[in-house]
Amino acid sequence: MSPLLLGIDLGTSGVKALLLDAGKPAGPAVSATVEYGLSTPYAGWSEQDPEDWWRGVGQVVRTVLERSGHSPDEVAAVALSGQMHGATVLDEAGTVLRPVILWNDQRTAAQCAAITERVGLDTLVRWVANPALAGFTAPKLLWIRDHEPEVFARIRTVLLPKDYINYRLAGVRATEVSDASGTLLFDVARRRWSEDMARALEIPQSILPPVHESDAVVGHLTAEAARHTGLVAGTPVVAGGADNACAALGAGVIEPGQVLTSIGTSGTVVAPSREPRTDPRARLHLFCHAVPGVWYAMGVVLSAGGSLRWFRDTLADELVQRAAAEGRDAYDLLMEEAATVPAGSEGLVFLPYLSGERTPHGNPAARGVFFGLSLRHTRAHLTRSVVEGVTYALADSIAIMRDLGIEVGSVRATGGGARSALWRRLQADIFRARVLTAASDLGPALGAALLAGVGVGAFASAPAAVEAAVRPGPEVEPDEAAAVFYGRQHAFFNTLYPALANRFDALGHEL
């Protein structure tokens, strides 16, 4: 009997569990999802109670075991993927001291400015390979020290979200390289904590947990965790990985030349390399991959699929109602309309900066723009311009990667952008690259399950796990004439942000 591997993806809106047969990893997998909420007590704040995560994990694991019909003692190992950057602060007894400040929380602008002023951008890139951004963990710790000093004084450990669940599963305080890379306290190039950075920010190194490679077994399920989840006490717990690293692993993107594009609420572009390739201008992130000896450069569009969702919810209510009446997906109807419009949306250009922008501009004040709107344009034009604009923004990251000498060969498309034939075609033409999709889109939970298998020897290595589990789906070759046309359109797109940047800042001051 083949061992079963349990991958758990701790997301922002919910937790997903995936049960995989190590003997047939490319075959059908059993999954379940439990949703939970988040708190926004003030504008720009985003927090969660880790007890909600823990309740969700218990529910989703029990559900997936029940659906599978397998016995819990068949589960050989469990590993987690998780949302990055969240500051989960514990006292000596392991009690959570305050709600977790999440990756999308924007309260730390002053702390980021102070870090950059104190350390300097060049030194930040040299020490931790990334700029100081509001999403990262270190600015959150400084905010707690500045605004809640009594809480800061009691902190004995800071854990990332999925590492807190590992703590509840196995009773160990630990992290791993891919998630630690997003703290702004980690020497990404050397895969270890940065003593220089911790010292410069006066953050006690004692609160930073031991760090492992992603496929290491960090502990075993406690009796209490077994009662909570329905699993068997003593089940190995593997370190796991950050959501983007696990998504790349689950899509088979672990080698130089392979690129992952993932379009969900946000959009990411991930490109692995065998050496740490930093961007001197810090436009791209550099993180450790969940595969030993591999790193990845990453660009982020904060409102990718989120832009299309905003458009659907705000400007396409009639279409949403029609989709419900016909038993169809409103996104499919939107894409069908968009496909009737010529390439370039007849001069309409959309800047997808509805919630600020990360790559390449790093400007939280940036906002969305429809440029070139005329009486000629219809909802179909607007839809197509949104999809084209998001793809141009993703292509900005690919252009930087190429400029840095990072190989961009084939692109593996995942998320909502991979389900649409039109969006796959646009990615191929705008990126000037062959675009493939995975035969299944199981996301980071699959990457976590593969790490669980590597950790307990069900697979000899991450490449062996990918070879066994990942099957390519449809592929699209770029059309040369369309690529030339979109190259000109992309160049025009890139003239708009510089023309509007100071107006975005002024708008922020006026509101």
Q: Which residues are catalytic?
A: 243
Tell me how far apart the alpha carbons of residues 452 and 176 are, in angstroms, rounded to a whole number.
13
Would you give the DSSP letter of residue 279?
-
Element (H, E) at 13: none
- Which of these, 90, 110, 105, lies nearest to 41 by C-alpha position? 105
Element (H, E) at 5: strand 4-10
As beta bridge partners, residue 475 has 436
Show the CA angle centred on residue 461, arms to residues 459 and 466, nearest 5°.
75
Q: Which residues fall within 8 angstroms of residue 39, CB to CB, at 6 or more apart?
A: 45, 46, 47, 48, 49, 99
- Dihedral of the alpha carbons of 370, 372, 378, 383, in degrees to the nearest 10: -40
Tokens of 69: 């019909």
Backbone dihedral region for residue 457 (phi beyond 0: left; psi -120 to 50: alpha; all else: beta): left
Length of the chain in residues, anyone? 511
Radius of gyration of the chain (CA): 22
**Integer Cα distance of 138 and 132 in angstroms:** 8
Alpha carbons 335 and 420: distance in angstroms, whole number: 7
Question: 142, 95, 90: which is closest to 115 by C-alpha?
Answer: 142
The angle formed by the CA atoms of residues 102, 12 and 57, to the nearest 5 degrees, is 115
- DSSP per position, 290-304: SSTT-EEEEEEESSS
Alpha-carbon distance values, 144 to 12, 130, 185 (Å): 21, 21, 16
Q: Omega of the bond prior to 161 within 30 degrees of 0, cis?
A: no
Q: Which residues of 449-479 are buried (b: 16+ CB within 10 A; e: fewer)?
A: bbbbbbbbebbeebeebbebbbeeeeebebe
* Residue of 508, 497, 263, 265 whose CA lies nearest to 364: 508
